[in-house]
Structure 1
Amino acid sequence: MADPPAATPAAPARAQPPRGGPGHALARLAWCAALAGGVALAGAAYWWTERVSTERLRAAGAQRLEVYAASLENLLDKYDFLPHMLELDKDVLALLEHPGDPARRQEVNAYLERLSKQAGSRIIYIVDLQGRTLAASNWREKSSFVGDDIRFRPYLQDALRGRPSGFYGVGTTSGEPGYFYARGVYRDGRMQGVAVVKVNIEEQERGWVQGADNVMLADANGVVFLSSAPAWKYHTLRALSPAVRAHLAQTRQYYRLPLPALPISRDETRADGTRVMVIGGQTGGGARPMLVQQRSLAPRQWTFIHLSDLSHARANARLAVLFAGVAYGFLLLLFLYVRQRLRAKEQLQDAYNNLEMMVAERTARLERTTQRLMDEAEVRREAEQQLHRTQNELYQAGKMAVLGQMSASITHELNQPLTALRTMSDNAVQLFERGRMAEARENLVKISQIVARMGTITGKLKGFARKSNAELGPVSIHTAISNALVLVERRMQLDKVAFTLDISDADIFALCDSNRLEQVLLNLMSNALDALATLERGAPRALSVSVTEAAGAVRIRVGDNGPGLSNEARERLFQPFFTTKPQGEGLGLGLAISEQIVRDFGGSLRAEPSEAGASFVIELRAASAERHDG
């Protein structure tokens, strides 16, 4: 028998490194290093994101502080000239010389009442040198100031010493807070009495409450007398000393108010220079850390305080940590994947070489196709940009056309301060002739302030005329309607048009662009006023605006009781260059531009049937207030 074949020797098994050897130790060390790197990356992401978010809050807060301060200064400067005007009235001087004359007292009471209504002030009153009120604009009311002794008020004491002053305080007679202007009334260089004007500045506070900011205004003693949070009002930033409380009690600045200290549980300055404060009982839930920014209002020794919620910055930092962790984990997985592919590459090299040639050929074809598509996309992009620029220029031309049609009412709006400038200039000439240089200089300062207020009016026109961007965001419908009314209210007064506004007290927000929405509203209001102008003289004229919100949509209706629209006009309303106005008074582009603007917002503009006159409806997508605040 043949011998059996010899067995093939088995291949030797590949030696495996011991589990506790140097290879495993290096692997554990690498994983520890990777974990440490991930923790360091997360910490750096948290620190950097919190710092950037805090800096953005600080920049935004500083900008808002400047806006709030400028708004308050403009309001206070608006009434600064009133006490000086009373010195020029002969009846006021006659009453101070003959305080017991009831006829003169009644004339001055009536004059102060008219002046207070025209100026929009709360109360105007005249005080003699003994601190007794001789006449007041509220002489008809039960809480009349006539006959009151106000010698205890600091503003009166300063005025009697020849120093015009301002003072914020709570009225001891009416209980209403306000800002008091006081100035001596002189005749031939001798003081006869004091003129005092009280102004309500609580409107500023109402504007803060409607916004998302936490704002406080404190006096030199740290008493918060205006605040966006009602729970903070008439509290103090620090405990008042007995001397300060005694002084406040003597002057009755905060009449019968206890003035407790705010529950500040934390107030510290960080290493980066930011100041952080925690106040209990603040709006929106429990106490949260707030970034503190201050601005001094000299010479009134007031301090504006803006508080920004740092919880948003910390939430952003936590999101940054989460993102950094996910990204780091993805990179680790990518590294392991690449490492595994490199190991498998040796086994798949032959197949990969063939595949690489196929991929190269297909890639070349794809590159050629991609290049053609890119060229076509570039041509289309340039065409779209040109179309967008043309549309923007058309929108801007529409604005300029509306402003041109409104030139008469704008001119009248500026003529009033110009008349005041002429009067005060004549007064300055008389004061120079009498040698009263200091008072003449004060008169010139008032002229400068009136010129600044004229600049505010032209600033509103400039804001409307500026070009808008194409970005959409939440827009306050209240604010848009108010801004549009500023530009047409004078025309409504001249044409005797009755205006009604039907809108809820709570603000309504829509997704659009504020400047372009104001352009559409102004165009519809101007068209309505043009239609009303065609009615017979003496016929009632009415313009109405109503706003409703339902099912995620905001509807703005602009209607009038004019002659209405014909069937032909309804069919061609939004066609370019179609107009029902006489030749030379309209281009026929207003409604076409407005319809295109609203369509770009994702909404619609249409004319609806109306029993009398014309009615246009703007329908927009609703936006939430939280999105607006963010």
Structure 2
Amino acid sequence: MPAPFDPIASPASQAPASRPSAPRPRRRRLARLAWCAALAGGVALAYAAYWWTEEVNTEKLRAAGAQRLEVYAASLENLLDKYDFLPHMLELDKDVLALLEHPADGARRQEVNDYLERLSRQAGSRIIYIVDLKGRTLAASNWRQKGSFVGDDIGFRPYLQNALRGRPSGFYGVGTTSGEPGYFYARGVHRAGRMLGVAVVKVNIEEQERGWVQGADKVMLADANGVLFLSSAPDWKYRTLRPLSAGVRAHLEQTRQYHHLPLPPLRIAQDEPRGDGTRVVAIGSPDGATAGAANAPRLLMQTRSLAPRQWTFIHLSDLSQVRASARAAALFACVAYGFLLLLFLYVRQRLKAKAQLQDANNNLELMVAERTSRLAHTTQSLMDEMAVRRQAEQQLHRTQNELYQAGKMAVLGQMSASITHELNQPLTALRTMADNAVLLFERGRMDEARQNLAKISQIVARMGGITGKLKSFARKSSADLAPASMHTAISNALVLVERRLELDKVAFTLDIPPADIYALCDSNRLEQVLLNLMSNALDALGTLERGAPRALAVSVARTPEAVLIRVADNGPGLSDEARGHLFEPFYTTKPQGEGLGLGLAISEQIIRDFGGSLRAEPADTGACFVIELKPASVKHDG
């Protein structure tokens, strides 16, 4: 009986029927080796895809984390440097020096308490206090509060000891009296080369946590002992990176830096160093819900030193998504490899078929490649079109914001004369009172000099209020809507026009309920609209004959559906032509050079962005504009 036909072997290699077929076992071994090599190649490809994807995504996380650490470090340094001058400033105050020289002077102590209270409120610090050489607090800005520092003995604090040795220093700790954490600045107070005491400023840096990463990634700040005193994860705050030694705990107990907090260590279940200086760690849940390294999420740890304070910023990036991407890449590599392997077997099988079928297969592959290319080109074109459209929308949004800001600057420019006059009068008064204060000091009339200085402080506070309102009005605002107080918005706008009301002798009336009314809008942009409407009304009143009565009225009312703000004057009013073009850009009834005709157009666009409307209502005399906004409610604590 003849041997069966083998399509792979050549006819010459076929053995006679009476002899065994020797190449068959060899071909089987080669086939098994080929399948093993193919399987090993698939495993190696999957591992390489997993490793490469994990490394690339981990490097992206590392770069993003390093950038965030630089931003957080710069923000914290800026905040700390902001208050560095305050202790030195106290050294220049005569009352502070007098109190340190005469600590038993009760009247002087009260004056310094009041001064520190005002200074702390103006500077935005938490507490400012004066300490004598024995570590006893003589005066403090919180003297009115129940937990006043006055009379406390803080000689054990390291920052005070360093300052008494002539080394100004900073110190983070939890207050032993109030229990509130903060950063302490301490500097010696000298007179004629002799140290009289120490000035200490405490500021709150906890607000930095609010701007840190929230969600899977975490940011922490550790001191030289590894204590985490700031953390975007509240459960990890006041924990340690490693167990504290007995000596360190004794030192912390002595200085009461963390006021008897237990300071337990983090449950670090895994810690693996990487070649780029980062580490992969697994931190268990503080409450023990996550047990062991098997269930704890893997995190990429990056550090950034904050010299010379010996602090360390720590950024933890969640590697779960990185590992998921790596697994997906490995799975895709396996699928692709399997597809290629099947394609190879398919092509090999097709090579054994007829030539006509081979040609048809080649044509089909060419068609698939062309269709894939066209589809890729179409997809890329759509993506490019979407990118161009997004850029156009962003440019339009930026242009609108710049137009709103230009409208603000135009209004401020028109009001510059009255604002300059408003500031020149108190400046002249300040100069005169300062000269008088010098004469009173020389003549020893201290009580009158204090009264003079108190008046100077009041004038400076008034000027600060004016410039503060100008700064708040001129700043760029966001497009986010939130409940805004109508009392506050109208009050802020009136501050910028009250001088003009006095100069033009305009009778102003405000009709608003005692209870505050809130509307859904951006307060800064609403003030811009109110200021524009009141400025237009004052311009219209300026066209009246000399001696004619001038009146400007603002009223606020709330209905269940809307908040209505009316701005009315008794000026010449609006013509029919003006009403038809009222909110068109570049249309103005003012003389050439006194207006661009953009104020009402910008105001109408701002109110429309709030979801409201701006319109002109008929009036018996003058003009009346009505702002309609959506009402908002505000929840009050307590």
Q: TM-score range by the shorter chain?
A: 0.5 to 0.7
Q: Does 1:208 align with 2:212?
A: yes
Shift of 1:316: 0.9
Matched position secondary structure for 1:614: strand
Q: Does 1:586 align with 2:586?
A: no
Shift of 1:277: 1.6
Contact 2:407 2:602 in 1 (8 A): no
Residues 539 and 105 of structure 1: CA distance in aligned 2, closer, same or farther (over 3 Å): farther
Q: 1:188 aligns with which of 173, 181, 192?
A: 192
Counterpart CA distance in 2 for 1:381 and 1:134 is: 69
Residues 55 and 591 of structure 1: CA distance in aligned 2, closer, same or farther (over 3 Å): farther
Counterpart CA distance in 1 for 2:38 and 2:588 is: 73
Q: Deviations over 1:505-555 (max 9, x none)?
A: xxxxxxxxxxxxx9x9976774455346567899668899xxxxxxxxxxx
Shift of 1:13: 8.0
Residues 578 and 103 of structure 1: CA distance in aligned 2, closer, same or farther (over 3 Å): same
Q: 1:236 aligns with which of 234, 240, 243?
A: 240
Q: Does 1:614 align with 2:623?
A: no
Gap regions ≥5 residues in structure 1: 1-10, 420-457, 466-475, 483-487, 504-517, 545-556, 599-603, 618-630
Contact 2:585 2:598 in 1 (8 A): no
Aligned equivalent of 1:226? 230
Q: Which amino acid aligns with 1:29?
A: L
Q: 1:325 aligns with which of 315, 329, 334?
A: 334
Q: Deviations over 1:342-401 (max 9, x none)?
A: 44442458x969x98xx99x9xxx99xx9xxx9xx99x9999999988877665544433
Q: Does 1:163 align with 2:163?
A: no
Aligned equivalent of 2:255? 251
RMSD: 5.3
Shift of 1:263: 1.6
Aligned equivalent of 1:30? 34
Gap regions ≥5 residues in structure 2: 10-20, 417-422, 428-470, 484-488, 499-511, 539-550, 569-573, 618-624, 631-638
Q: Deviations over 1:317-351 (max 9, x none)?
A: 001011111222222233333334444442458x9
Counterpart CA distance in 1 for 2:104 and 2:35 is: 98
Q: Does 1:63 align with 2:45?
A: no
Q: Which amino acid aligns with 1:45?
A: A
Contact 1:532 1:560 in 2 (8 A): no
Q: 2:132 aligns with which of 122, 128, 133?
A: 128
Aligned equivalent of 1:264? 268
Residues 406 and 345 of structure 1: CA distance in aligned 2, closer, same or farther (over 3 Å): farther
Counterpart CA distance in 2 for 1:41 and 1:30 is: 16
Counterpart CA distance in 2 for 1:144 and 1:168 is: 19
Larger-Rg structure: 2
Contact 2:614 2:626 in 1 (8 A): no
Counterpart CA distance in 1 for 2:322 and 2:383 is: 38
Q: Does 1:40 align with 2:44?
A: yes
Shift of 1:195: 0.7
TM alignment of 1:27-106, pairs within 5 A: 27-106=31-110
Residues 318 and 526 of structure 1: CA distance in aligned 2, closer, same or farther (over 3 Å): farther
Aligned equivalent of 2:404? 402
Residues 389 and 196 of structure 1: CA distance in aligned 2, closer, same or farther (over 3 Å): closer
Residues 138 and 45 of structure 1: CA distance in aligned 2, closer, same or farther (over 3 Å): same
TM alignment of 1:378-417, pairs within 5 A: 396-407=398-409
Q: 1:315 aligns with which of 289, 309, 324?
A: 324
Shift of 1:282: 6.0
Q: Does 1:336 align with 2:340?
A: no
Counterpart CA distance in 1 for 2:118 and 2:162 is: 27
Shift of 1:163: 1.1
Deviates more, 1:525-534 or 1:252-261: 525-534
Aligned equivalent of 2:297? 288
Residues 184 and 38 of structure 1: CA distance in aligned 2, closer, same or farther (over 3 Å): same
Q: 2:151 aligns with which of 147, 152, 155?
A: 147
Counterpart CA distance in 1 for 2:213 and 2:193 is: 46
Counterpart CA distance in 2 for 1:166 and 1:232 is: 24
Residues 24 and 258 of structure 1: CA distance in aligned 2, closer, same or farther (over 3 Å): same
Residues 269 and 572 of structure 1: CA distance in aligned 2, closer, same or farther (over 3 Å): farther
Contact 1:218 1:304 in 2 (8 A): yes
Contact 1:154 1:251 in 2 (8 A): yes
User: For this pair of structures, how many residues does the alignment match?
Assistant: 500
Shift of 1:208: 2.9
Counterpart CA distance in 1 for 2:85 and 2:353 is: 88
Counterpart CA distance in 2 for 1:533 and 1:591 is: 13
Contact 1:227 1:233 in 2 (8 A): yes
TM alignment of 1:472-483, pairs within 5 A: none
Residues 276 and 494 of structure 1: CA distance in aligned 2, closer, same or farther (over 3 Å): farther
Contact 1:609 1:615 in 2 (8 A): yes
Q: Does 1:275 align with 2:279?
A: yes
Contact 1:523 1:590 in 2 (8 A): no
Q: Which amino acid aligns with 1:312?
A: Q
Counterpart CA distance in 1 for 2:194 and 2:556 is: 54
Q: Which amino acid aligns with 1:586?
A: L
Aligned equivalent of 1:5? none
Counterpart CA distance in 1 for 2:208 and 2:298 is: 25
Counterpart CA distance in 1 for 2:245 and 2:258 is: 15
Counterpart CA distance in 2 for 1:382 and 1:287 is: 42
Residues 613 and 114 of structure 1: CA distance in aligned 2, closer, same or farther (over 3 Å): farther
Q: Deviations over 1:56-86 (max 9, x none)?
A: 1111110111111111111111111111111
Counterpart CA distance in 2 for 1:235 and 1:385 is: 46
Residues 164 and 539 of structure 1: CA distance in aligned 2, closer, same or farther (over 3 Å): farther
Counterpart CA distance in 2 for 1:390 and 1:63 is: 28
Shift of 1:134: 0.8
Q: Deviations over 1:84-119 (max 9, x none)?
A: 111121111111121111111111111111111111
Residues 188 and 560 of structure 1: CA distance in aligned 2, closer, same or farther (over 3 Å): farther
Q: 1:117 aligns with which of 114, 118, 121?
A: 121
TM alignment of 1:480-559, pairs within 5 A: 494-495=495-496, 526-527=528-529, 529-531=531-533
Contact 2:604 2:613 in 1 (8 A): no
Q: Deviations over 1:191-210 (max 9, x none)?
A: 22111111111111233374
Contact 1:570 1:607 in 2 (8 A): no
Shift of 1:307: 1.0
Shift of 1:496: 9.3
Q: Deviations over 1:431-476 (max 9, x none)?
A: xxxxxxxxxxxxxxxxxxxxxxxxxxx9xx99x79xxxxxxxxxx9
Counterpart CA distance in 1 for 2:331 and 2:562 is: 49
TM-score normalised by L of structure 1: 0.65
Shift of 1:274: 3.1
Shift of 1:558: 11
Residues 169 and 156 of structure 1: CA distance in aligned 2, closer, same or farther (over 3 Å): same
Q: 1:174 aligns with which of 174, 178, 192?
A: 178
Q: 1:306 aligns with which of 311, 315, 335?
A: 315
Counterpart CA distance in 1 for 2:490 and 2:240 is: 42
Counterpart CA distance in 2 for 1:208 and 1:575 is: 45
Counterpart CA distance in 2 for 1:81 and 1:210 is: 33
Q: Deviations over 1:211-260 (max 9, x none)?
A: 55311111111111111122211111122222212211111111111222
Counterpart CA distance in 1 for 2:94 and 2:271 is: 56
